[in-house]
Amino acid sequence: MKNNSWKISDVTIANRVVIAPMAGISNQAFRYICKEFGAGLIYTEMVSDKALYYQNVKTLGMTQTLKEEHPLTMQIFGSDVESMVYAAKLLDQETDCDIIDINMGCPVNKVVKAGAGSALMKDPEHAAKIVSAVVAAVTKPVTVKMRIGWDETCINAVPFALAMEAAGASAVAVHARTRKQMYEGHSDWRYIKAVKEALHIPVIGNGDIHTPQDAQRMLEETGCDAVMIGRGVLGDPWLIRQCVHALESGEELPNAAMEEKFSLAKEHARRLVDLKGEYVGIREMRGHAAWYVKGLPNSHRLKDRLAKIESMAELEQILGDYAKEQENEKKAKM
């Protein structure tokens, strides 16, 4: 078995599979499952510097962690140097995260209009000021998540990443799409390779990892230090285990059976209910439930029912009914 451990500054990461920060998804319940399936490094969903600055109770709650989650990166977004420093110091001193990440890749209008997220790709000088000030204010490693540029006319991944390294970033994660692409089209891994060749700090590659073969290919083609998976693990955390195993041994693991998917969907729901209460937790689970059943026979009808669940009991009933239907159909064909 190959040893795939690597480091960001003084933080040792056991393998080369990293789970991306996803807004509204990367909460404690989701992160725990990702860690259970073997992710080397996980990120929290991004939190606003201003929300931390003004001590927003909900946002502060999002910085709570479990001991099983380490190593863990907490991600903040913003554009004001003073409030970004305040937020980073709060994470540094009052949470047990291992790494602090600055989001410079989020393409959402609300974030971009505030000059944060991928808007910072258009102002490398100001982005570097933020990184430099944050690095000077905290003891934990500071990293940056970025895109390859604003649009196809402004692809500045290499000079931007070099500026982040010069400002003191300990690693960069490169989502190989422009801001204009949002999450559409294909990611262009050539820019991950170019950034890796230019920098001395670790580079994490992000974009279009859907199979263990994709993960292997990204590492080989770009030379990046680790692969970051986002939407590919939604409803399929087995992909994490498959990637870790393939990168260490070269062997493929089978896909999950329906029973395993249903069992994990219920565990995920229970964790969300414990975290947020049944009313909020189950409503958040509606989207996850649809991901867990994707690709199953007649899944459209199942998804329709799951989109309306209001209780844990209802989720269990729907999944149980479906499993019985499938079993009966199988028997009828024998």
Nearest to 217 by CA among 183, 243, 194: 243
Alpha-carbon distance values, 101 to 92, 104, 111, 130, 164 (Å): 11, 9, 16, 12, 12
| Residues recognised as catalytic | 106
Number of CB atoms found within 10 A of residue 306's CB = 24
User: Cβ distance 191 to 161 under 8 Å?
Assistant: no
Residue type, 248: E
Give the DSSP H or E segment for 12: strand 11-13
Contact criterion met (CB below 8 Å) for 141 and 90: no
Token readout for 235 is 């409803």
Instruction: Assess contact for 40 and 250: CB atoms under 8 A.
Output: no
67's tokens: 């001991």
Read off the amino acid at residue 303. K
Closest CA to 28 of 64, 60, 59, 57: 64
CA-based angle 173:88:49, to the nearest 5? 90
Strand partners, 315: none
Q: Which residues contact 46 (CB under 8 A, 6 or more apart)?
A: 21, 23, 75, 76, 77, 103, 106
**Are residues 105 and 119 in contact, defined by beta-carbon separation less than 8 angstroms?**
no
Distance separating alpha carbons of residues 24 and 66, to the nearest angstrom: 18
Neighbours of 237 (CB within 10 A): 24
